[in-house]
Structure 1
Amino acid sequence: MIALALPAAANEGGFVPPTLEDMHLPAIIPWGAPEGFGKQMLLILLSVLLISWFFVAAARRGQMVPGKLQFLGEMSYNFVRNSVGKDIIGERDFRPYVPLLFALFFFILVNNFYGSIPLIQLPTTSHVGTAYALAGIVYVTWIVLGLKKHGIGYFKLAVVPSGVPKAILPLVVVIEIISTFLVRPVTHSLRLFATMLAGHLIIMLAAAGSEFLLTQDQWLLKPLGLLTLAGGVGMYLFEVLIQVLQAYVFTLLTAIYIQGSLAEEH
Protein backbone atom coordinates (compact mmCIF):
# COMPACT_ATOMS: atom_id res chain seq x y z
CA MET A 1 0.00 0.00 0.00
CA ILE A 2 2.84 2.43 0.79
CA ALA A 3 4.49 1.78 -2.58
CA LEU A 4 1.18 2.56 -4.32
CA ALA A 5 0.36 5.60 -2.18
CA LEU A 6 3.67 7.40 -2.78
CA PRO A 7 3.47 7.45 -6.59
CA ALA A 8 -0.17 8.52 -6.37
CA ALA A 9 0.72 11.37 -4.03
CA ALA A 10 3.59 12.41 -6.27
CA ASN A 11 1.33 12.50 -9.30
CA GLU A 12 -1.35 14.52 -7.53
CA GLY A 13 0.87 16.94 -5.65
CA GLY A 14 3.72 17.11 -8.13
CA PHE A 15 6.53 16.64 -5.61
CA VAL A 16 9.75 18.16 -6.95
CA PRO A 17 12.88 17.26 -4.95
CA PRO A 18 15.44 20.01 -4.30
CA THR A 19 18.36 20.23 -6.70
CA LEU A 20 21.74 21.93 -6.82
CA GLU A 21 20.15 24.90 -8.57
CA ASP A 22 18.10 25.61 -5.43
CA MET A 23 21.34 26.39 -3.60
CA HIS A 24 22.38 29.02 -6.16
CA LEU A 25 20.20 32.05 -5.63
CA PRO A 26 20.05 34.89 -8.19
CA ALA A 27 22.91 37.39 -8.05
CA ILE A 28 22.37 40.45 -5.87
CA ILE A 29 24.61 42.55 -8.11
CA PRO A 30 25.07 40.99 -11.58
CA TRP A 31 28.38 42.27 -12.93
CA GLY A 32 28.94 40.06 -15.94
CA ALA A 33 30.26 36.99 -14.14
CA PRO A 34 28.21 33.78 -14.28
CA GLU A 35 26.86 34.34 -10.77
CA GLY A 36 27.80 37.95 -10.07
CA PHE A 37 27.82 39.16 -6.47
CA GLY A 38 25.45 36.73 -4.79
CA LYS A 39 24.41 35.42 -1.42
CA GLN A 40 27.56 33.32 -1.06
CA MET A 41 29.92 36.28 -1.50
CA LEU A 42 27.83 38.37 0.88
CA LEU A 43 28.01 35.66 3.54
CA ILE A 44 31.77 35.30 3.13
CA LEU A 45 32.26 39.03 3.72
CA LEU A 46 29.88 38.85 6.69
CA SER A 47 31.89 35.97 8.19
CA VAL A 48 35.07 38.06 8.06
CA LEU A 49 33.31 40.90 9.87
CA LEU A 50 31.80 38.58 12.49
CA ILE A 51 35.09 36.81 13.24
CA SER A 52 37.01 40.09 13.42
CA TRP A 53 34.41 41.70 15.67
CA PHE A 54 34.28 38.74 18.06
CA PHE A 55 38.01 38.37 18.65
CA VAL A 56 38.65 42.12 18.80
CA ALA A 57 35.86 42.44 21.38
CA ALA A 58 37.19 39.44 23.32
CA ALA A 59 40.72 40.91 23.48
CA ARG A 60 39.77 44.56 24.00
CA ARG A 61 39.68 44.48 27.78
CA GLY A 62 42.20 41.88 28.83
CA GLN A 63 41.87 41.01 32.52
CA MET A 64 43.67 38.64 34.85
CA VAL A 65 40.31 37.08 35.65
CA PRO A 66 38.70 36.89 32.20
CA GLY A 67 35.02 37.50 31.62
CA LYS A 68 32.87 35.16 29.55
CA LEU A 69 33.72 36.76 26.21
CA GLN A 70 37.46 36.93 26.93
CA PHE A 71 37.45 33.35 28.21
CA LEU A 72 35.70 32.09 25.08
CA GLY A 73 38.11 34.00 22.83
CA GLU A 74 41.19 32.74 24.66
CA MET A 75 39.92 29.19 24.74
CA SER A 76 39.21 29.28 20.99
CA TYR A 77 42.64 30.69 20.21
CA ASN A 78 44.45 28.24 22.49
CA PHE A 79 42.64 25.31 20.90
CA VAL A 80 44.07 26.12 17.46
CA ARG A 81 47.45 27.23 18.82
CA ASN A 82 48.14 24.22 21.00
CA SER A 83 46.02 21.34 19.71
CA VAL A 84 46.78 21.97 16.03
CA GLY A 85 49.82 24.23 15.64
CA LYS A 86 52.02 23.18 18.53
CA ASP A 87 51.13 19.47 18.55
CA ILE A 88 51.50 18.97 14.80
CA ILE A 89 54.18 21.40 13.61
CA GLY A 90 56.25 21.19 16.78
CA GLU A 91 57.10 23.54 19.62
CA ARG A 92 60.17 24.94 17.87
CA ASP A 93 58.55 26.00 14.58
CA PHE A 94 54.80 26.40 15.10
CA ARG A 95 54.47 30.06 16.18
CA PRO A 96 54.77 31.80 12.77
CA TYR A 97 51.95 29.64 11.37
CA VAL A 98 49.39 30.04 14.14
CA PRO A 99 47.72 33.09 12.47
CA LEU A 100 47.15 31.12 9.26
CA LEU A 101 45.79 28.07 11.08
CA PHE A 102 43.65 30.26 13.33
CA ALA A 103 42.18 32.20 10.39
CA LEU A 104 41.48 29.04 8.37
CA PHE A 105 39.75 27.22 11.22
CA PHE A 106 37.35 29.98 12.21
CA PHE A 107 36.69 31.15 8.66
CA ILE A 108 35.70 27.62 7.61
CA LEU A 109 33.79 27.01 10.85
CA VAL A 110 31.61 30.10 10.51
CA ASN A 111 30.98 29.54 6.81
CA ASN A 112 30.05 25.91 7.54
CA PHE A 113 27.68 26.99 10.32
CA TYR A 114 25.75 29.13 7.86
CA GLY A 115 24.15 25.92 6.61
CA SER A 116 22.49 25.35 10.00
CA ILE A 117 21.22 28.88 10.63
CA PRO A 118 17.53 29.38 9.71
CA LEU A 119 16.85 31.85 6.90
CA ILE A 120 20.53 31.80 5.87
CA GLN A 121 20.83 28.03 5.33
CA LEU A 122 23.75 28.12 2.91
CA PRO A 123 27.20 26.77 3.82
CA THR A 124 29.39 28.82 1.52
CA THR A 125 31.96 26.03 1.53
CA SER A 126 29.42 23.90 -0.34
CA HIS A 127 30.39 25.94 -3.41
CA VAL A 128 33.49 24.40 -4.91
CA GLY A 129 35.11 27.76 -5.67
CA THR A 130 35.46 28.55 -1.97
CA ALA A 131 37.06 25.18 -1.23
CA TYR A 132 39.43 25.52 -4.20
CA ALA A 133 40.51 28.99 -3.09
CA LEU A 134 41.27 27.85 0.47
CA ALA A 135 43.14 24.74 -0.67
CA GLY A 136 45.02 26.84 -3.23
CA ILE A 137 46.25 29.21 -0.53
CA VAL A 138 47.47 26.26 1.55
CA TYR A 139 49.05 24.58 -1.51
CA VAL A 140 51.11 27.64 -2.39
CA THR A 141 52.01 28.18 1.27
CA TRP A 142 53.57 24.79 1.96
CA ILE A 143 55.44 24.73 -1.34
CA VAL A 144 56.90 28.20 -0.71
CA LEU A 145 57.84 27.21 2.84
CA GLY A 146 59.56 24.08 1.57
CA LEU A 147 61.57 26.05 -0.99
CA LYS A 148 62.45 28.67 1.58
CA LYS A 149 63.64 26.03 4.04
CA HIS A 150 65.46 23.63 1.70
CA GLY A 151 65.88 25.48 -1.59
CA ILE A 152 65.30 23.58 -4.83
CA GLY A 153 66.30 20.41 -2.99
CA TYR A 154 62.86 20.49 -1.36
CA PHE A 155 61.33 18.74 -4.37
CA LYS A 156 63.73 15.84 -3.90
CA LEU A 157 62.88 15.62 -0.21
CA ALA A 158 59.17 15.69 -1.06
CA VAL A 159 59.17 12.87 -3.60
CA VAL A 160 62.12 10.65 -2.64
CA PRO A 161 61.37 8.85 0.66
CA SER A 162 64.37 7.67 2.65
CA GLY A 163 65.18 3.98 2.80
CA VAL A 164 63.43 2.95 -0.44
CA PRO A 165 65.27 0.23 -2.43
CA LYS A 166 66.71 1.52 -5.70
CA ALA A 167 64.87 -1.13 -7.70
CA ILE A 168 61.46 0.39 -6.98
CA LEU A 169 62.59 3.99 -6.44
CA PRO A 170 61.46 5.27 -9.91
CA LEU A 171 57.96 3.92 -9.35
CA VAL A 172 57.81 5.37 -5.84
CA VAL A 173 58.96 8.79 -7.11
CA VAL A 174 56.20 8.87 -9.74
CA ILE A 175 53.61 7.92 -7.13
CA GLU A 176 54.91 10.57 -4.71
CA ILE A 177 54.83 13.30 -7.39
CA ILE A 178 51.23 12.49 -8.26
CA SER A 179 50.03 12.10 -4.68
CA THR A 180 51.89 15.11 -3.26
CA PHE A 181 51.59 17.77 -5.95
CA LEU A 182 48.43 16.72 -7.80
CA VAL A 183 46.16 14.62 -5.62
CA ARG A 184 46.82 16.36 -2.31
CA PRO A 185 45.38 19.82 -3.17
CA VAL A 186 42.39 18.24 -4.94
CA THR A 187 41.45 16.00 -2.02
CA HIS A 188 42.10 18.84 0.44
CA SER A 189 39.47 20.98 -1.29
CA LEU A 190 36.96 18.33 -2.38
CA ARG A 191 36.78 16.76 1.08
CA LEU A 192 35.42 20.02 2.46
CA PHE A 193 33.23 20.88 -0.53
CA ALA A 194 31.66 17.45 -1.03
CA THR A 195 30.86 16.93 2.65
CA MET A 196 29.16 20.29 3.03
CA LEU A 197 27.28 19.93 -0.24
CA ALA A 198 26.04 16.41 0.49
CA GLY A 199 24.98 17.23 4.04
CA HIS A 200 23.08 20.31 2.99
CA LEU A 201 21.30 18.50 0.17
CA ILE A 202 20.23 15.72 2.55
CA ILE A 203 18.73 18.27 4.95
CA MET A 204 16.98 20.06 2.07
CA LEU A 205 15.58 16.76 0.81
CA ALA A 206 14.36 15.74 4.28
CA ALA A 207 12.66 19.12 4.80
CA ALA A 208 10.99 19.09 1.38
CA GLY A 209 9.92 15.46 1.77
CA SER A 210 8.49 16.08 5.25
CA GLU A 211 6.49 19.07 4.08
CA PHE A 212 5.16 17.16 1.08
CA LEU A 213 4.12 14.05 3.02
CA LEU A 214 2.54 15.97 5.91
CA THR A 215 0.40 18.09 3.59
CA GLN A 216 -1.07 15.13 1.64
CA ASP A 217 -4.64 13.96 2.19
CA GLN A 218 -3.79 10.26 2.39
CA TRP A 219 -3.70 9.27 6.06
CA LEU A 220 -0.95 6.73 5.37
CA LEU A 221 1.51 9.40 4.25
CA LYS A 222 1.33 11.58 7.36
CA PRO A 223 3.13 9.08 9.66
CA LEU A 224 5.81 8.78 6.98
CA GLY A 225 6.09 12.54 7.04
CA LEU A 226 6.68 12.50 10.80
CA LEU A 227 9.36 9.83 10.41
CA THR A 228 11.02 11.86 7.66
CA LEU A 229 10.88 14.96 9.86
CA ALA A 230 12.47 13.10 12.78
CA GLY A 231 15.19 11.79 10.48
CA GLY A 232 15.74 15.31 9.17
CA VAL A 233 16.21 16.67 12.69
CA GLY A 234 18.72 13.93 13.40
CA MET A 235 20.59 14.72 10.20
CA TYR A 236 20.54 18.42 11.11
CA LEU A 237 22.26 17.73 14.43
CA PHE A 238 24.71 15.36 12.75
CA GLU A 239 25.47 18.02 10.14
CA VAL A 240 26.41 20.51 12.89
CA LEU A 241 28.95 17.99 14.17
CA ILE A 242 30.31 17.46 10.64
CA GLN A 243 30.63 21.22 10.15
CA VAL A 244 32.94 21.44 13.17
CA LEU A 245 34.89 18.33 12.19
CA GLN A 246 35.48 19.51 8.63
CA ALA A 247 36.86 22.84 9.82
CA TYR A 248 39.17 20.94 12.17
CA VAL A 249 40.26 18.38 9.55
CA PHE A 250 41.04 21.06 6.95
CA THR A 251 43.15 23.00 9.47
CA LEU A 252 44.81 19.84 10.79
CA LEU A 253 45.85 18.79 7.28
CA THR A 254 47.22 22.28 6.68
CA ALA A 255 49.42 21.92 9.76
CA ILE A 256 50.55 18.47 8.59
CA TYR A 257 51.50 19.83 5.16
CA ILE A 258 53.44 22.71 6.73
CA GLN A 259 55.23 20.33 9.07
CA GLY A 260 56.17 18.15 6.11
CA SER A 261 57.64 21.16 4.28
CA LEU A 262 59.79 22.05 7.28
CA ALA A 263 60.96 18.50 8.05
CA GLU A 264 64.51 17.52 7.17
CA GLU A 265 63.49 14.23 5.57
CA HIS A 266 60.39 12.22 4.73
Structure 2
Amino acid sequence: MKAQEMFWSVNIKFLRLRQKLSQEALAEKLGITRVKLNAHESGRTTNPTIDDLINFSELFRMSIDSLLKIDLSKLSEQKIKDLELGSELFMKGNNIRVLAVTVDKDENENVEYVPVKAKAGYRSGYNDPEFLASLPKFNLPNLPKNGTFRMFPTIGDSMLPVPEGSDVITRYVQDWTRLKAETPCIVILKGEQDFVFKQVTIKLDGTMLLQSFNKQYFAYTIPVSEVIELWEYYSFHSKQLPEPQTDMQQLLKMLQEMQMEIKELSERPYKKKFTGGNN
Protein backbone atom coordinates (compact mmCIF):
# COMPACT_ATOMS: atom_id res chain seq x y z
CA MET A 1 0.00 0.00 0.00
CA LYS A 2 1.35 3.41 -0.96
CA ALA A 3 2.22 5.61 2.01
CA GLN A 4 0.07 8.70 2.52
CA GLU A 5 1.94 11.83 1.43
CA MET A 6 2.20 14.41 4.19
CA PHE A 7 2.27 18.17 3.64
CA TRP A 8 3.01 19.38 7.18
CA SER A 9 6.19 21.33 6.41
CA VAL A 10 4.82 22.78 3.16
CA ASN A 11 1.61 23.93 4.83
CA ILE A 12 3.29 25.50 7.87
CA LYS A 13 5.50 27.66 5.65
CA PHE A 14 2.64 28.45 3.24
CA LEU A 15 0.29 29.59 6.04
CA ARG A 16 3.02 31.67 7.68
CA LEU A 17 3.77 33.50 4.43
CA ARG A 18 0.04 33.88 3.74
CA GLN A 19 -0.25 35.78 7.04
CA LYS A 20 2.87 37.80 6.15
CA LEU A 21 4.69 36.66 9.28
CA SER A 22 8.41 36.21 9.70
CA GLN A 23 9.70 33.03 11.33
CA GLU A 24 10.55 35.07 14.43
CA ALA A 25 7.02 36.51 14.65
CA LEU A 26 5.28 33.15 14.21
CA ALA A 27 7.63 31.42 16.64
CA GLU A 28 6.78 34.06 19.25
CA LYS A 29 3.03 33.53 18.72
CA LEU A 30 3.50 29.77 19.15
CA GLY A 31 5.82 30.11 22.13
CA ILE A 32 8.62 28.16 20.43
CA THR A 33 12.10 29.03 19.12
CA ARG A 34 12.76 30.11 15.55
CA VAL A 35 15.11 27.13 15.23
CA LYS A 36 12.28 24.73 16.07
CA LEU A 37 9.92 26.46 13.64
CA ASN A 38 12.55 26.28 10.91
CA ALA A 39 12.87 22.54 11.54
CA HIS A 40 9.12 22.17 10.95
CA GLU A 41 9.19 24.22 7.75
CA SER A 42 12.27 22.54 6.32
CA GLY A 43 10.88 19.05 6.84
CA ARG A 44 13.43 18.03 9.47
CA THR A 45 10.58 17.42 11.93
CA THR A 46 8.93 14.35 10.43
CA ASN A 47 6.81 13.42 13.47
CA PRO A 48 5.34 16.55 15.12
CA THR A 49 4.33 16.12 18.75
CA ILE A 50 0.69 16.24 19.84
CA ASP A 51 1.32 19.65 21.41
CA ASP A 52 2.78 20.99 18.15
CA LEU A 53 -0.13 19.63 16.12
CA ILE A 54 -2.64 21.27 18.46
CA ASN A 55 -0.82 24.61 18.68
CA PHE A 56 -0.33 25.02 14.92
CA SER A 57 -3.91 23.89 14.28
CA GLU A 58 -5.38 26.39 16.72
CA LEU A 59 -3.21 29.27 15.54
CA PHE A 60 -3.98 28.77 11.85
CA ARG A 61 -7.63 27.73 12.48
CA MET A 62 -7.12 24.67 10.37
CA SER A 63 -7.85 21.05 11.26
CA ILE A 64 -4.88 18.79 11.94
CA ASP A 65 -6.13 16.48 9.22
CA SER A 66 -5.95 19.32 6.67
CA LEU A 67 -2.49 20.41 7.83
CA LEU A 68 -1.16 16.90 7.36
CA LYS A 69 -2.93 15.54 4.30
CA ILE A 70 -3.85 18.47 2.01
CA ASP A 71 -1.42 20.63 0.04
CA LEU A 72 -3.00 23.95 0.96
CA SER A 73 -0.83 25.84 -1.53
CA LYS A 74 -2.80 24.15 -4.33
CA LEU A 75 -6.16 25.42 -3.07
CA SER A 76 -7.91 28.63 -4.04
CA GLU A 77 -8.03 31.46 -1.53
CA GLN A 78 -11.79 30.98 -1.19
CA LYS A 79 -11.37 27.30 -0.35
CA ILE A 80 -8.81 28.15 2.32
CA LYS A 81 -11.19 30.76 3.78
CA ASP A 82 -13.94 28.14 3.79
CA LEU A 83 -11.68 25.83 5.78
CA GLU A 84 -10.90 28.64 8.23
CA LEU A 85 -14.23 30.41 8.72
CA GLY A 86 -16.55 27.49 8.17
CA SER A 87 -14.35 24.87 9.74
CA GLU A 88 -16.69 22.64 11.71
CA LEU A 89 -13.59 20.65 12.64
CA PHE A 90 -12.17 23.69 14.41
CA MET A 91 -15.33 24.94 16.05
CA LYS A 92 -16.43 21.47 17.09
CA GLY A 93 -12.98 20.53 18.32
CA ASN A 94 -12.60 17.37 16.21
CA ASN A 95 -8.95 16.31 15.98
CA ILE A 96 -7.89 19.55 17.67
CA ARG A 97 -8.57 19.88 21.37
CA VAL A 98 -7.25 17.11 23.57
CA LEU A 99 -8.54 17.36 27.14
CA ALA A 100 -6.43 15.94 29.95
CA VAL A 101 -8.26 14.94 33.14
CA THR A 102 -7.57 13.24 36.47
CA VAL A 103 -9.64 10.48 38.06
CA ASP A 104 -10.16 9.11 41.56
CA LYS A 105 -9.61 5.52 42.72
CA ASP A 106 -13.00 4.54 41.28
CA GLU A 107 -12.13 5.99 37.84
CA ASN A 108 -14.52 8.91 38.30
CA GLU A 109 -13.33 12.25 36.95
CA ASN A 110 -12.19 14.76 39.56
CA VAL A 111 -13.05 18.43 39.60
CA GLU A 112 -9.68 20.16 39.41
CA TYR A 113 -9.30 23.57 41.04
CA VAL A 114 -7.00 26.12 39.40
CA PRO A 115 -5.87 28.44 42.24
CA VAL A 116 -4.70 32.00 41.58
CA LYS A 117 -1.04 31.02 41.95
CA ALA A 118 -1.48 28.41 39.18
CA LYS A 119 -3.15 30.77 36.68
CA ALA A 120 0.07 31.65 34.91
CA GLY A 121 0.98 28.00 34.41
CA TYR A 122 -2.42 26.79 33.26
CA ARG A 123 -2.06 28.19 29.74
CA SER A 124 0.98 26.00 29.09
CA GLY A 125 -0.01 23.07 31.31
CA TYR A 126 -3.73 22.71 30.61
CA ASN A 127 -3.23 19.46 28.65
CA ASP A 128 -0.30 18.17 30.72
CA PRO A 129 -1.40 15.29 33.00
CA GLU A 130 1.48 16.01 35.41
CA PHE A 131 0.46 19.65 35.78
CA LEU A 132 -3.17 18.69 36.35
CA ALA A 133 -2.13 16.07 38.90
CA SER A 134 -0.47 18.87 40.90
CA LEU A 135 -3.72 20.85 41.17
CA PRO A 136 -6.13 20.54 44.12
CA LYS A 137 -8.97 18.19 43.21
CA PHE A 138 -12.25 17.16 44.76
CA ASN A 139 -15.72 15.76 44.06
CA LEU A 140 -18.99 17.66 44.31
CA PRO A 141 -22.40 16.07 44.84
CA ASN A 142 -25.16 16.43 42.25
CA LEU A 143 -22.92 17.35 39.33
CA PRO A 144 -24.20 15.96 36.01
CA LYS A 145 -22.48 12.77 34.92
CA ASN A 146 -22.20 13.81 31.28
CA GLY A 147 -19.45 16.36 31.53
CA THR A 148 -15.98 17.33 32.69
CA PHE A 149 -15.91 20.03 35.36
CA ARG A 150 -13.22 22.39 36.58
CA MET A 151 -13.20 25.25 39.08
CA PHE A 152 -11.60 28.66 38.47
CA PRO A 153 -11.22 31.68 40.78
CA THR A 154 -12.49 35.13 39.78
CA ILE A 155 -10.44 38.28 40.25
CA GLY A 156 -11.55 41.89 39.84
CA ASP A 157 -15.00 43.44 39.56
CA SER A 158 -15.71 42.82 35.85
CA MET A 159 -17.75 39.74 36.84
CA LEU A 160 -20.23 41.61 39.06
CA PRO A 161 -22.88 40.78 40.17
CA VAL A 162 -20.87 37.56 40.75
CA PRO A 163 -18.89 38.72 43.81
CA GLU A 164 -15.14 39.25 43.44
CA GLY A 165 -13.16 36.32 44.79
CA SER A 166 -15.82 33.74 43.95
CA ASP A 167 -14.93 30.27 42.66
CA VAL A 168 -16.73 29.41 39.42
CA ILE A 169 -17.57 25.79 38.61
CA THR A 170 -17.59 25.18 34.87
CA ARG A 171 -18.22 22.41 32.34
CA TYR A 172 -15.81 21.80 29.45
CA VAL A 173 -17.09 22.82 25.99
CA GLN A 174 -15.85 20.59 23.18
CA ASP A 175 -18.27 21.79 20.49
CA TRP A 176 -18.15 25.60 20.41
CA THR A 177 -20.90 25.79 17.78
CA ARG A 178 -23.53 24.71 20.32
CA LEU A 179 -23.03 27.78 22.53
CA LYS A 180 -25.94 30.18 22.63
CA ALA A 181 -25.26 33.92 22.44
CA GLU A 182 -23.95 35.49 25.65
CA THR A 183 -23.20 32.15 27.33
CA PRO A 184 -21.17 32.75 30.52
CA CYS A 185 -17.79 31.01 30.16
CA ILE A 186 -14.30 30.89 31.52
CA VAL A 187 -12.20 31.62 28.42
CA ILE A 188 -8.62 30.34 28.35
CA LEU A 189 -6.62 32.72 26.16
CA LYS A 190 -3.26 32.51 24.44
CA GLY A 191 -2.34 36.13 25.11
CA GLU A 192 -1.13 37.91 28.21
CA GLN A 193 -4.33 37.19 30.13
CA ASP A 194 -4.43 33.62 31.40
CA PHE A 195 -8.23 33.35 31.52
CA VAL A 196 -11.27 35.60 31.78
CA PHE A 197 -14.88 35.11 32.86
CA LYS A 198 -17.11 36.60 30.14
CA GLN A 199 -20.38 36.25 28.29
CA VAL A 200 -19.37 34.58 25.03
CA THR A 201 -20.96 35.00 21.61
CA ILE A 202 -19.36 33.23 18.63
CA LYS A 203 -19.87 35.03 15.33
CA LEU A 204 -20.03 33.70 11.78
CA ASP A 205 -16.89 35.60 10.77
CA GLY A 206 -14.69 33.44 13.02
CA THR A 207 -14.51 35.90 15.91
CA MET A 208 -15.70 35.73 19.51
CA LEU A 209 -17.47 38.60 21.29
CA LEU A 210 -16.54 38.81 25.00
CA GLN A 211 -18.84 40.85 27.25
CA SER A 212 -18.35 41.56 30.93
CA PHE A 213 -21.18 41.05 33.39
CA ASN A 214 -20.31 44.42 34.88
CA LYS A 215 -21.55 46.78 32.16
CA GLN A 216 -19.03 49.44 33.15
CA TYR A 217 -16.57 47.37 31.09
CA PHE A 218 -16.79 47.53 27.32
CA ALA A 219 -17.16 44.39 25.22
CA TYR A 220 -14.41 43.39 22.80
CA THR A 221 -13.88 40.88 19.99
CA ILE A 222 -11.05 38.38 19.46
CA PRO A 223 -10.33 35.72 16.80
CA VAL A 224 -11.44 32.25 17.89
CA SER A 225 -7.89 31.12 17.11
CA GLU A 226 -6.75 33.08 20.20
CA VAL A 227 -8.84 30.84 22.46
CA ILE A 228 -7.40 27.62 23.89
CA GLU A 229 -10.37 26.31 25.88
CA LEU A 230 -13.97 27.25 26.76
CA TRP A 231 -15.54 26.25 30.08
CA GLU A 232 -19.26 26.95 30.36
CA TYR A 233 -20.55 28.37 33.63
CA TYR A 234 -22.39 25.89 35.87
CA SER A 235 -22.44 27.50 39.34
CA PHE A 236 -20.33 29.57 41.68
CA HIS A 237 -19.30 29.46 45.34
CA SER A 238 -18.94 32.64 47.36
CA LYS A 239 -18.98 33.91 50.91
CA GLN A 240 -20.66 37.11 49.72
CA LEU A 241 -24.17 37.74 48.49
CA PRO A 242 -24.51 39.36 45.04
CA GLU A 243 -25.29 43.07 45.24
CA PRO A 244 -28.25 44.43 43.24
CA GLN A 245 -27.41 46.74 40.35
CA THR A 246 -27.61 50.45 41.12
CA ASP A 247 -29.50 52.94 38.95
CA MET A 248 -26.14 54.21 37.66
CA GLN A 249 -25.06 50.71 36.63
CA GLN A 250 -28.35 50.17 34.78
CA LEU A 251 -27.93 53.55 33.04
CA LEU A 252 -24.38 52.65 31.99
CA LYS A 253 -25.66 49.33 30.65
CA MET A 254 -28.29 51.08 28.54
CA LEU A 255 -25.70 53.56 27.25
CA GLN A 256 -23.31 50.78 26.25
CA GLU A 257 -26.08 48.89 24.45
CA MET A 258 -26.98 52.05 22.53
CA GLN A 259 -23.32 52.57 21.58
CA MET A 260 -23.08 49.00 20.32
CA GLU A 261 -26.27 49.40 18.25
CA ILE A 262 -24.95 52.64 16.72
CA LYS A 263 -21.65 50.93 15.89
CA GLU A 264 -23.44 48.00 14.22
CA LEU A 265 -25.59 50.38 12.18
CA SER A 266 -22.54 52.37 11.07
CA GLU A 267 -20.79 49.19 9.91
CA ARG A 268 -23.69 48.02 7.74
CA PRO A 269 -23.27 48.48 3.95
CA TYR A 270 -24.82 51.77 2.82
CA LYS A 271 -26.76 51.81 -0.45
CA LYS A 272 -27.80 55.17 -1.82
CA LYS A 273 -31.33 55.28 -3.08
CA PHE A 274 -32.03 57.25 -6.25
CA THR A 275 -35.50 58.44 -7.19
CA GLY A 276 -36.78 59.79 -10.45
CA GLY A 277 -37.77 63.34 -11.09
CA ASN A 278 -36.21 66.64 -12.04
CA ASN A 279 -33.87 68.58 -9.77
> Which TM class, normalised by the smaller chain length?
under 0.3
Higher strand proportion: 2
Higher Cα Rg: structure 1 or 2?
1
Q: Which has the higher contact order (CA 8 A, sep 6+)?
A: 1
Higher helix proportion: 1
The TM-score normalised by the length of structure 1 is: 0.23
The TM-score normalised by the length of structure 2 is: 0.22
